[in-house]
Structure 1
Amino acid sequence: MGRIDYQNDPNAPTPNSLVPAASVVVVDDRGRVLLQRRVDNGMWALPGGKMELGESLAECGVRETFEETGIDIEITGIVGTYTNPGHVFAYDDGEVRQEFSICLLGKPTGGDLRSSDESHEVEWFTPEETDDLPMINAIRLRLSDWRTGRFPAVR
């Protein structure tokens, strides 16, 4: 399913859903961050997705990271909350979701890098290597908050 991100765009469609989601800044022992290149928009992003009924936010982050990257993780903290009502995602099926994401901090505990049906590529990057990657501003903001130590951020 395709997705278009709108950030503070007056021509953006009106949201029709609000879904709690988790994203995770996964940092390995070399200080590299785990990113995936998304199938739905072609951009690099943190692993993450919507919470399912019956799971905690941390369980959501762990599950989504494994599903999308093949890496098992442990949650170690919170980078911040990201709830900009001007950031909406329009999906092919007609859903227009307002941003509501808690970004967690995690460390790898096992697994093997692999892509999924949601990711074209999965890679570890040094913080500096992320600067020139194509990604939406909301993901870049989360990485910036983590890199500068401004967390937990509330945005």
Structure 2
Amino acid sequence: MGRIDYLHDPDAPPANSVVPSVVAFVQNDEDAVLLIQRSDNGRWALPGGGHDVGESISDTVVREVWEETGIKAEVIGISGIYTDPGHVMLYDDGEARQQFSICFRARPIGGEVRTSDETTQVRWVPPADLSTYDIHSTMRLRIEHAMDEARPTPYIG
């Protein structure tokens, strides 16, 4: 399934769904950030996905990180909530989803890096190298907020 992200684009289709979702900012002991290369659009991103019925939101974070990367993670906080109605994601099946994403900070507690059907590559990336990756501006914002540990409260927007 392919995906196109629109950000405040007048050519964006009108949203027809909203799905609560999570992304995980996972940093290891060397401060490297866990990134995935998405199989649906080829861009680099934090691991994450939709919240399922019957799970707590922290269970969603742990499941998505494990499914997409092979890393077992533990949630340690929230860095932001992102609900910009101007960010619409269009999928091949016609779904035009309005953004609703919660970014969590997490730490690795086990596992080994591997890919999945949703990821073509998984890497631990040093913060100094993040600018060299093709990361959508909305995902960069999440990464910047998560890296800013001096921020007194989570971003809400």
For the aligned pair, the TM-score class normalised by the smaller chain equals: over 0.9
AA aligned to 1:56 is S
1:94 CA drift (Å)? 0.5
What secondary structure does 2:120 align onto? strand
- The residue number in structure 2 matching 1:119 is 119
Match runs of 1:108-147 below 5 Å: 108-147=108-147
What secondary structure does 1:81 align onto? strand
What secondary structure does 1:60 align onto? helix
Which ranges in structure 1 are unaligned for 5 or more consecutive residues? none
Q: Work out the CA distance in 1 between the residues paired with 2:147 and 2:66.
A: 23
- The residue number in structure 1 matching 2:39 is 39
TM-score (norm 1): 0.98
1:5 CA drift (Å)? 0.3
1:127 CA drift (Å)? 1.1
- The residue number in structure 2 matching 1:60 is 60
Q: Work out the CA distance in 2 between the residues paired with 1:70 and 1:148.
A: 26
Match runs of 1:2-151 below 5 Å: 2-149=2-149, 150=151, 151=153
AA aligned to 2:99 is E
1:148 CA drift (Å)? 2.7
1:126 CA drift (Å)? 1.0
User: Which aligned segments of 4 or more residues in structure 1 are displaced greater than 2 angstroms?
Assistant: 147-151
AA aligned to 1:143 is I
What secondary structure does 1:68 align onto? helix
